[in-house]
Amino acid sequence: MSLTTAALVTGGTSGLGLAVAARLMASGVVPVLLGRSEERGEAALKSLGGPAVFVRGDVASEPEVAGALDAAERHGSLRAVVNCAGVPHAARVLGRSGPHSLDRFVEVVTANLVGTFNVVRLAAARMAGNEPVGEERGVIVNTASLAAFEGQVGQAAYAASKGGIVSMTLPLARELAGSLIRVVTVAPGFFHTPAVATVPAAARAELDRDLVHPRRWGDPAEFAALVAHVIDNPMINGETIRVDGAVRMSSGLRHRSS
């Protein structure tokens, strides 16, 4: 990517998104980080220590995403958008205190799926106005999860939100091809980030049993390396790529039934 480009990284203030921001910044791109917490945003800018920008906002809000896109366009031509914003969630459909909260289901799908689509549609409208560089005007990378394919007990809401991201990848890529914009999804396995620090130790130990090779959790920099390659490789389009060390998640029945 050219040194004068800007990239929007939603969820760029933590975990996988922060690693993507660092990787893009190292290649001369100005990353614009979108997140809801001012505190996390300031801490992320400090840790990046370079020309990055933080915009406070929610991915599901049209004006807040538009504000982040404006900020990106002030810093260069918007050639890449990486959607990493997302929330984890685990709850049984039939839990001890009754059926799964419908409000919570809607919240998870809104943050993970509706938010991703909101960013895609608004970013694509901006990118469509770019002058083509080489064969393309821009690339959008979304983040799903292994739960999109083998969701565990307790992951109905989360899996639905991530499955939607996988399912819309091809139709988005097919449609946005007309505007010379690629759309790719990355589905990470288990990566060390602040989000997984909230997973109970017993559940994490259970997930460890599914590790294949390498038998460890991923470093966010390894996720970011794949995203950077996707951005740079024009032949990757309309596909979901797993980055998981061959993990296939088991049902999760053992630890969730205790």
Catalytic amino acids?
158
Q: Any contact of residue 14 with ligand NAP (CB under 6 A)?
A: yes
Total residues interacting with ligand NAP, rule: CB under 6 A: 30
213-250 burial, b for 16+ CB within 10 Å, e for fewer?
eeeebbebeebbebbbebbeeeebbbbbbbbbbebebe
Q: Nearest CA to 128 among 144, 115, 140, 118?
A: 140
Helix (H, G, I), strand (E, B) or coil at 197: helix
Q: How far is the CB of 192 from ligand NAP (least distance, A)?
A: 7
CA–CA distance, 120 with 142 (Å, rounded to integer): 9
Q: Which stretch binds ligand NAP (CB under 6 A): 12-20, 127-135, 175-183, 250-258?
A: 12-20
Q: Any contact of residue 17 with ligand NAP (CB under 6 A)?
A: yes
Residue choice 5, 77, 118, 145 for contact with ligand NAP (CB under 6 A): 145
Q: Any contact of residue 86 with ligand NAP (CB under 6 A)?
A: yes
Residue choice 51, 99, 171, 194 for contact with ligand NAP (CB under 6 A): 194
- Across 144-207, the runs of DSSP E, i.e. the strands, are 181-188
**41-80 residues near ligand NAP, rule: CB under 6 A:** 58-60
Residue choice 25, 191, 210, 255 for contact with ligand NAP (CB under 6 A): 191
Helix (H, G, I), strand (E, B) or coil at 53: strand
Q: Nearest CA to 85 among 28, 159, 161?
A: 161
Residue choice 13, 152, 169, 185 for contact with ligand NAP (CB under 6 A): 13
Q: Any contact of residue 15 with ligand NAP (CB under 6 A)?
A: yes
Q: Which helix (H) or strand (E) holds 38?
A: helix 38-48
Q: Any contact of residue 35 with ligand NAP (CB under 6 A)?
A: yes
Q: Any contact of residue 252 with ligand NAP (CB under 6 A)?
A: no
Pairing of strands 98-99, 240-243: unpaired
Q: Any contact of residue 188 with ligand NAP (CB under 6 A)?
A: yes
Residue choice 55, 111, 173, 176 for contact with ligand NAP (CB under 6 A): 111
Rank residues 30 and 180 by Cβ distance to ligand NAP and give the closer one. Answer: 30
CA–CA distance, 212 with 116 (Å, rounded to integer): 30
Half-sphere exposure of 46 (CA within 13 A, CB side): 6
Q: Any contact of residue 190 with ligand NAP (CB under 6 A)?
A: yes
Rank residues 27 and 61 by Cβ distance to ligand NAP and give the closer one. Answer: 61
Helix (H, G, I), strand (E, B) or coil at 94: strand
Which positions touch ligand NAP (CB under 6 A)?
Answer: 10-11, 13-17, 34-37, 40, 58-60, 84-87, 111, 115, 143, 145, 188, 190-191, 193-196
